[in-house]
Amino acid sequence: MQEAPVVLVTGSARRLGRAMALDLARHGWHVAVHYRSGADEAQETISALRALGVQAHAFRADLAVEAECEALLPAVQAAFGRVDAVVNNAALFELDQVDSFSYAAMDRHWRANTAPAIVLARALHAAVLARGAHARGAVVNLLDQKLWNPNPDHLSYTLSKAALQCATTLLAQALAPRVRVCAVAPGLTLGSDMIDASQLAALQAATPLQRGVTPDDVARTVRFLLENQAVTGSTVLVDAGSHLAPAARDFAFLATHHPGPTP
């Protein structure tokens, strides 16, 4: 009987990361829940995962700190006995623009959004190699539809995700054939401090498909890429067509200025 695979999902104590963790658990994956803060939320997620009949453990790490990031995957491997996949979901999303850009802002986003994905993919590759000639692994990086619908808001964040998009290609080349590396670019999926429920509904209704992107939409796509052994170096946009409708500002500013649905 084949042993169930193990996936590390970064930033999976809540929101979109939690949805991906639960979807994978429903389909037989054991899940390592990573969090930086919010230990109570992480434990709630662990309880929900275990209720689905899978193994689940929580791991705290600040991925922007190189030593903590380097230690994360070995800790997961020690707890589960193996690691088969990594979903790089955790991200920093701070607002800056050209006039407020700084080296410090760029460095914060690079350390949170780009470098950890490389470190964790490298560690997964080493773990897969150590398991023998037939072992395989997969990585899915979370990007953003902003890369296909660019605007100057959230400059440092967008640059860090553009670097992650390039890293996805480079890692797919470097780690083949033992580890596949793909990406998912979600559209507007959840609200935030800048987008309330009514604004979220209006913005989602204004997409070309006139519907929103749900966490389950994204989670199913992540699972497809983890499980499809013939795909690497590819990015799937899950954005209800938002990349087909260019906007001059970020969704948060469209919500501020356009509170109602587009006719």
- Please, are residues 136 and 151 in contact by the beta-carbon 8 Å criterion? no
Taking a C-beta distance cutoff of 8 angstroms, is the pair 67, 40 a contact? no
pLDDT of residue 196: 85
Range in 29-33, 125-129, 194-198 the model is least confident about: 194-198
Confidence (pLDDT) at 259: 38
pTM score of the predicted model = 0.93
Q: Read off the tokens for 181.
A: 């590396």
What digits encode the pLDDT tens for the residues 242-251?
999 888 888 8
On average, the pLDDT of the chain sits at: 93
pLDDT (0 to 100) of residue 2: 63
Can you list the domains of the chain with their CATH numbers? 6-189+212-240 (3.40.50.720)
Assess contact for 160 and 64: CB atoms under 8 A.
no
Give 186-232 pLDDT, tens digit per residue.
998 877 767 788 888 888 898 999 998 999 999 999 999 999 999 99
Give the pLDDT score at 142.
Answer: 98
Q: Give the Cα separation of 16 and 9 in Å (integer).
A: 10
Report how far residue 204's alpha carbon sits from residue 61's, in angstroms, rounded to the nearest whole number. 33
User: Mind listing the pLDDT tens digit for each residue in 147-191?
Assistant: 999 999 999 999 999 999 999 999 999 999 999 999 999 998 877
Dist. CA 252–CA 195, nearest whole Å: 6
**122 or 196, higher pLDDT:** 122
Q: Which of 115, 82, 105, 128 is nearest to 10 (CA)?
A: 115
Give residue-wise pLDDT tens across range 71-86: 999 999 999 999 999 9
